[in-house]
């Protein structure tokens, strides 16, 4: 199941989050509030998925888990920055 989820995350992190929510209790364990998980799903899907994967109920996130979450934050930020850049280029070409 883990490899299938990793392949699914490569295609779409939001779809992977949906399947994690549907088939496991990982999202409810990792996030105390449904609203935080929903905001993560909408705004930062890679970070939400990494947080759910790295979170341990008794300890939280430690060690390499923070590295995984940090890389996911970088992926999310680069996605948003590239989308902004592409939007700016399209509007400059249209003008």
**Residue 74, pLDDT score:** 96
Tens of pLDDT along 31-90? 989 999 999 999 999 999 999 999 988 888 999 999 999 999 999 999 889 888 888 888
Give the span between the Cα atoms of 37 and 14, in whole angstroms. Answer: 11
Instruction: Supply the range of the domain harboring residue 79.
Output: 2-94
Confidence of residue 1 (pLDDT cuts 50, 70, 90): low
Which residue, chain included where needed, has tokens 């249209």?
94
The tally of domains found in the chain comes to 1
Q: Write down the H helix ranges in 12-44.
A: 13-23, 26-30, 34-43
């Amino acid at each position: 199941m883990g490899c299938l989820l990793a392949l699914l995350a490569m295609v779409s992190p939001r779809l992977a989050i949906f399947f994690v929510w549907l088939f496991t209790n990982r999202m409810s364990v990792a996030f105390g509030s449904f609203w935080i998980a929903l905001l993560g799903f909408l705004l930062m899907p890679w970070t939400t998925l990494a947080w759910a994967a790295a979170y341990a109920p008794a300890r939280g996130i430690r060690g390499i888990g923070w590295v995984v979450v940090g890389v996911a934050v970088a992926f999310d930020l680069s996605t948003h920055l590239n989308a902004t850049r592409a939007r700016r280029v399209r509007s400059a070409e249209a003008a």
